Chain A
Amino acid sequence: MFGITHFLFIAVLLFGVGVTGVLISRNIIVLLMSVELMLNAANLAIIAFSRALNVMDGHAFVFLVLTVAAAEAAVGLAMVITIFNNRRSINIDKYSLLKW
């Protein structure tokens, strides 16, 4: 039987991949993508729970989270452009002015 645990397993797996990506990646774009992956893993969990509990709240919440993720992505990409203009690189290792 296909139950809530399966969805949760996928969600937590995606979340773990996102966390690992943030921790080990050196490219800002990949970092931003990993963060998005984390948010979307949480979205999946919310939707799964919402379906299991048979309530609609979760669906509305996911819309809000999507918007938040879009706002964060927009700000992040805008910053990447600024940094690239100043520095010609998006590799995070090169940002050593302030110790990471």
Chain B
Amino acid sequence: MFEQLFPILLLFVVAAVLAGVLISLSIFIGRRTKLGKKGQPYECGIDPEGTTREPFPVKFYMVAILFILFDIEVIFLYPWAVISKELGMFGFIEMLVFVLILLVGYFYILGRGALKWD
């Protein structure tokens, strides 16, 4: 059994070693700069004011996360669109159910007020 599994094991070892090598290379060989002036954000040579990592209002993240979900769900519409003629009425009703399920999610979001901006 071991001989048969050996190539797979080898693949995993190679993957782990590669990841390890890449990381250790960047740690050991990569030039490290003492964070001084170099660590500062550069903007037209003028000294920066405040930090660049301003926290965004959480609303942006909310919308982004919700967008990912609805965006991905739509990929199921493409395969259906390709063969919608063959599937006929049955496929249409199935898709309607699918969209209805998404709609429930949408109504939930609305009800929770996740899309309100102010």
Q: Which among B61, B71, B72 has the greatest number of chain A C-beta atoms within 10 A?
A: B72
Complex-state Cα separation, A67 to B68, whole angstroms: 10
Tell me, rounded to whole Å, the shortest Cβ–Cβ distance linking B42 to chain A.
24
Tell yes or no: A28 within 8 A of B by CB. no
A-B contact count (CB 8 A): 58
Complex-state Cα separation, A19 to B69, whole angstroms: 25
**Which segment of A8-16, A47-55, A91-99 sits at the interface?**
A8-16
Complex-state Cα separation, A74 to B75, whole angstroms: 17
Do B65 and A78 touch across chains, with their CB atoms under 8 A apart?
yes
Tell yes or no: B94 within 8 A of A by CB. no
Tell yes or no: B12 within 8 A of A by CB. yes
Tell yes or no: B16 within 8 A of A by CB. yes
Tell me, rounded to whole Å, the shortest Cβ–Cβ distance linking A100 to chain B.
20
Do A77 and B65 touch across chains, with their CB atoms under 8 A apart?
yes
Contact of B14 among A16, A74, A77 (CB under 8 A): A16
Chain A residues within CB distance 8 Å of chain B? 8-9, 12-17, 19-21, 24, 60, 63, 66-67, 70-71, 73-74, 77-78, 81, 85
Chain B residues within CB distance 8 Å of chain A? 8, 11-12, 14-16, 18-20, 23, 58, 61, 65-66, 68-69, 71-73, 75-76, 79
Given A16-B18, A66-B75, 6 further pairs, Cβ under 8 A: A15-B12, A16-B14, A19-B15, A20-B23, A67-B73, A73-B68
